[in-house]
Amino acid sequence: MIITEQKPMEEVQEMIAPYDKLFIVGCGTCSTSCQTGGEDEVKEMTEKLGDRVVGWAMVEDPCDLRLDRRDLKAYKEQIADSDAILVMACGAGVQTVGEYSKKIVLPALNTLFIGETERLGKFHDMCKACGDCILDETGGICPLTRCAKGLLNGPCGGQVKGKCEVGDYENECAWVQIYDRLKEQDRLDLFTVFRPPRDFSKKTLKMHHYF
């Protein structure tokens, strides 16, 4: 899931200051689960912003252009009447709503990561969408994401009792976790595999994917 957090209200107020009439779009999928852009949060935002809000809508998946077309069709006039759309979704959602509406779009949320949900309100950073998954070699633990330096060949000198120098030793050292997991699985040979430099051009060169 795409994990988001709400921007501080002062930041939202500053962002919307130039616009008198706002339309608000919420997200029925990830931001609903994160409790950052679901129906409850959209209503709450509507109340906070009062008369400036000319309308609001929930889109099942604002990052899906087809669903924006489907779910926002009934609000065409209100959207046309607004100065800007405040989108309570991830960055992909904000951009897709912008592409659909051609209106000024404003992000109400900060997009944090692709993550695991442990329970409501407790999420873990798991995936950087690097485009070259090696989880088969690393015991199902992503070093690119969960090691602060994104190292591919073992831990650095900054781990103390399995904790990372980054973040006051609160985060686990991903490479110690990988070591432990591979040891449990009797696959420690994978720990010593040398992974050559990544080919970053693969991702940079291709922004549009057609399957």
Partner 1 sequence: MVKMADKRPAYSQLVKDIRAGKFVLTGELEPEKVTCLEEILVSARAMKPYVVAANVTDNPLAYAYMNSLVPSWLVQKEVGLETVYQMTVRDRNRLALTSDILAASYLGIKNILAISGDHTVLGDNKGAVSVYDLDSAQFVYMLHKMIDEGVDVAGNEIHGNVDINVGIAANPNADPLMPEVLKVGRKTKIGADFIQTQTMFDIDKTKEFLKEAEKYKCPTLIGVFPLKSYGIADFFDRFIPGVSVPTELLTSMKKAKKEPDKEKRKQLYDEVNLEFFRPFIKEIHKTTSAAGIHVMAVMYERIFEPLLEAL
Could you list the residues that contact partner 1 (CB under 8 A)? Answer: 148-162, 165-167, 175-176, 179, 191-192, 194-197, 200
Q: Which two tokens stand for residue 51?
A: 């008369």
Nearer to partner 1, 75 or 175 (CB): 175
CB of 58 closer than 8 Å to CB of 39: yes
Nearer to partner 1, 113 or 191 (CB): 191
Reported as type and span, the H/E element at residue 86 is strand 84-88
Minimum distance from residue 86 beta carbon to partner 1 (Å): 28
Question: Which long-range CB contacts under 8 A does 124-129 form with residues at least 24 apart?
Answer: 125/3
- Spatial CB neighbours of 180, under 8 Å, sequence gap ≥ 6: none
Minimum distance from residue 192 beta carbon to partner 1 (Å): 5
Q: Which two tokens stand for residue 34?
A: 């994160």
- C-alpha 13: how far from chain center: 22
- C-alpha 81: how far from chain center: 30
Laid out side by side, the sheet with 2-6 consists of: 2-6, 109-119, 122-127
Minimum distance from residue 179 beta carbon to partner 1 (Å): 4
Dmax (CA) for the chain in angstroms is 64
Q: For residue 78, which of 97, 53, 49 has the smallest C-alpha distance? A: 53
Nearer to partner 1, 47 or 186 (CB): 186
Nearer to partner 1, 21 or 181 (CB): 181
Nearer to partner 1, 99 or 200 (CB): 200
Minimum distance from residue 167 beta carbon to partner 1 (Å): 8
Minimum distance from residue 62 beta carbon to partner 1 (Å): 29
Nearer to partner 1, 127 or 148 (CB): 148
Minimum distance from residue 127 beta carbon to partner 1 (Å): 17
